[in-house]
Structure 1
């Protein structure tokens, strides 16, 4: 690799020159091919790994600072670090995972469909209980708070701004409303662990 030539291409590519980007891709293709052939990531094929590397190369072009260091070293380290992150993310996966995987050549024909149906019915029942508790046991202001924050996907900060109250007051109102709901639903469910 001619480092000065690549540095010149990186400067032009950062300014938006498409031909310079194409030439950078051509210059880095042997490195990316080599890395993708030596790397195995569960769930990724060789072409997926190459695409991740090229995507990282484009990110490097966008974020490269011309005054700090050489582009070749920056891009090479970024691509390798990106592959390391992908490896760490998928390192804990096994060859056999998922509901319908094969083990010893025999397909698992357990009662998965009935379990899934039972689970979906249970979740539907929990949702109905939650909506019933919201409707019957909360005041109008508490109902508005729950609707604004959880169903309309707004933040508590937005609620506090909208109601012209402090954030701490909004937080206390939210905790009070959720505590009421928890007491209404016997046993609670996973929702309470996430929201309180």
Structure 2
């Protein structure tokens, strides 16, 4: 029954009946509002977008051909959908890097720079560790054990000397030779 009434209103609107056009526009206004909010949010251009949608409905009335077997509501929904999608594509939101973010003091550029520095530092640290491990493999077993104990395990030279049964001076010289060799291997 309602489809038949809508069909009659569309035919009357195609023939220039202004009242039929108004009824159809009122019927599809909630669809326009739903699409505007969905694709544009509640912004200052709401009424302009609503008027554009009404123009799309009027064009749909003019262009609608019921002989194609497509129901008018489906045809209008599709026209409105594509209109607002195309309008949305035209709008580009620009990202301003030096504008303060919601949390206050920092801007996006500051955060990006800090993140870039952290990534660089992480990468350099990883490379340095790899070079160090390669260099450690080139040391003698005594030198390697000394470097690992002193720098990685945090032992004192005195405790290392006592453990090995060597003099403190011998451990200092062994450490110096190990570091010199490491430096040569790494650089």
* TM-score, normalised via structure 2 length: 0.46
Instruction: Return the TM-score normalized by structure 1.
Output: 0.44
Higher helix share: 2
**Structure of greater Rg:** 2
